[in-house]
Amino acid sequence: MMVLKKFGEVCDFVRGPFGGSLKKSGFVEDGYAVYEQQHAIYDQFTEIRYFVDEEKFNEMKRFELKPNDLIMSCSGTMGKVAIVPQSIKKGIINQALLKLTPKKFLDVEYLRYWMTSPDFDARIEENTVGAAIKNVASVKILKQIDVPTPPLPEQQQIVALLDEAFEAIDQAKANIEKNIENAKELFQSKLNDIFSQKGEGWEERTLGKVCMKTKNIRWQDHINEEYQYVDLSSVSRETLKVTETAIVNDKNAPSRAKKIIEKGDVIFATTRPTLKRATIIDEELDGQICSTGYVVLRPNEKISTDWIFFYLLTSTFIDRMESLQRGASYPAVTDSDVKGSILSIPTSKIIEGKYISVMHQLREGTSELIIQYLEKLNSLEELKKSILQMAFTGELTDKAVEV
């Protein structure tokens, strides 16, 4: 029987201390752990950035975490929950966490599942404050949320059913994700086979030798003229197409809005090159502007746009970029690094065209397959939500959790 009790009746609540109570200047190299939002979000308690000494720990003993407590993130990425394991390093929570200690009649795993349900997510969303960075409302409001609270044996039965169902769902997801990786690897293998050919009928050139020079815009010569601007986030990594642009002019253009692009150009993001952010510029963007975070490759008569585009997707090229990238926070390569890459090109335009046709077919087939797999993953996520909804409305049965 599902009895509704107030959240405040089934748990003891402790919201993290005010920010002023925990300052970086008071942290020590080692000692008592300071648990942060990341520990709830990623459900891990081993990677700890900050520590306090024994005196500070004793001063803030009220915020101590203990095994089988539950923590919830309360700012930005809200509502993520994790159960505190037995092996936890002694420590306290910071201001971005809420500590929940279930009463004896409430199973902590049951509580965790309920706090990942669509119903609880909706309640959290209803009770948030802040525009730029959302924050969970006051503990006083949270305590008034209704919690379905059947007898403890029934809670444990629900947990067992959910464990079984979610294990099966997670295994199905893992299999699908493996299939996606296999599809990508097969596509990569076929590309590498094509671009690794040498000898008669093939010639090797650097990208720089088969591309024409491009120009940057002089904004002082284009007063009050508007352009579409392709920045680093404009190109979708999934579709490799430009999904959105900004309108810029000489007054509001970002400092990186400089490179003029033309129809048939290939652009490749030199910032974080291993993300493979590349696209072909179409007629709509002819004469527009892209970020200096891209290298613009404009093919000459010796090579086609498509040949360059597919070469940029090969693991051979990406591996080379990875070896050349510099910088820890924003790893990047230079335009010269990209243009210095050597690729094989068929001497016959007919042969080149045939290979390009094959590569397009491979890419389209791979994309369609991946879309199907992603739809299956989405279906499994929806199934999870449905099962959770049934669990906390008394409708969950053995048959309902079949995957």
Q: How many beta carbons lie within 10 A of that of residue 337, not counting itself?
A: 19
Q: How far apart are CA 304 and CA 309, in angstroms?
A: 9
Do residues 113 and 162 touch, judged by C-beta distance below 8 A? yes
Q: Which of 94, 141, 159, 147 is nearest to 120 (CA)?
A: 147
Q: Which of 19, 44, 22, 20 is nearest to 32 (CA)?
A: 22
Q: How many beta carbons lie within 10 A of that of residue 12, not counting itself?
A: 11
Domain with residues 4-149, CATH architecture: Alpha-Beta Complex (3.90)
Residues 43-72 pLDDT 10s: 999 999 999 999 999 999 999 999 999 999
Mean pLDDT of 192-209: 94
Q: How far apart are CA 135 and CA 312, in angstroms?
A: 42
Residues 253-283 pLDDT 10s: 999 999 999 999 999 999 999 999 999 999 9
Q: Which of 54, 60, 55 is nearest to 97 (CA)?
A: 60
Q: Supply the Cα-derived Rg of the chain in whole angstroms.
A: 28
Exposed, middle or buried: residue 189 (CB in 10 Å: 0-12, 13-18, 19+)? exposed
Mean pLDDT of 12-16: 94
Q: What pLDDT was estimated at residue 276?
A: 93
**Helix 349-391 vs helix 118-126: angle between axes, to the nearest 10 degrees?**
90
Residue 260, C-beta contacts closer than 8 angstroms, at least 6 positions apart: 214, 215, 216, 217, 287, 288, 289, 296
Mean pLDDT of 388-394: 88
Q: How far apart are CA 226 and CA 247, in angstroms?
A: 6
Q: What pLDDT was estimated at residue 129?
A: 61
Tokens 């923590």 belong to residue? 71
Exposed, middle or buried: residue 101 (CB in 10 Å: 0-12, 13-18, 19+)? middle
If one compares 134 and 264, the residue with the highest pLDDT of the two is 264
Do residues 71 and 82 touch, judged by C-beta distance below 8 A? yes
Order of all β-strands in the sheet with 257-260:
246-248, 227-230, 289-291, 257-260
Residues 156-178 pLDDT 10s: 999 999 999 999 999 999 999 99
Q: What pLDDT was estimated at residue 123?
A: 84
Q: How many beta carbons lie within 10 A of that of residue 2, not counting itself?
A: 12
Domain boundaries 202-346, CATH class: alpha beta
Tokens encoding 19: 């920010």
pTM: 0.73
Q: What pLDDT was estimated at residue 21?
A: 83
